[in-house]
Amino acid sequence: MDLQQQSYRAVKFLVFLLAAGVLVADQSQAENPCANGPPVEMNPAECCATPMLVDGSIMMDCYQKYGEQTKKQLKLDGVPRGCCIAECAMNATNMYADGMLKRDDVAKMFMDAMRDKPEWMALVRDATNACFELAASKMEEIEAGAKLEPSFEGEKICHPISGVVLRCMGMMMFAQCPPTVFNDTENCKKLREYGSMCPML
């Protein structure tokens, strides 16, 4: 089996874990491996310099607008809420409209972002397909999240589709970081194991 097939199988396995509910927001703390945060205090970028899928200035602008809200939302139980940072980024790139992402355009944008990073191209291509499949399998939950009412003053409700895809992509890319890029230390291995199950802001 060549490296590309191994990467594809690993991506499909991670999507299986996500779809099977390893990452479920309303599990009790005892059952939820994400409840207490990462097992080590490290910036994921110290372990794997994951390339940006969306222009960095767009992401920074969206994080400044919705970062604090997103941190509050992650502590809420029940149906997962939409990530306004992700929706803001997809809006800014004209990839989102009326609860839908333009799949072909998103895939092209992601691959264009990898143009000078050949070690990431196969992984990003496979992860994009897998993350859209994951979103399709979770559409009932995604639509429920879009219909939620604000739970605190000033909360904006965003459609979850953008966050599901971008969060899935981030988890996939970190978990499958190419060996030539990954910092293979014990702490980084622990963080990668955590990152394969849990979103890291």
Which residue type, as a one-letter code, is found at position 147? K
- Longest CA–CA span in the chain (Å) reads 53
In order along its 201 residues, the chain shows pLDDT tens digits of 554 555 555 554 444 444 444 333 444 444 667 777 788 888 888 999 999 999 999 999 999 999 999 888 888 888 889 999 999 999 999 999 888 999 999 999 999 999 999 999 999 999 999 999 999 999 999 999 999 999 999 999 999 999 999 999 998 899 899 999 999 999 999 998 888 777 665
Rounded CA separation 16/120 (Å) = 21
Cβ neighbours of residue 120 under 8 Å, at least 6 residues apart? 51, 114, 173, 178
DSSP H or E segment with residue 101: strand 100-101
Q: 53-197 has which CATH code?
A: 1.10.238.270
Q: Is the pTM of this model over 0.85?
A: no
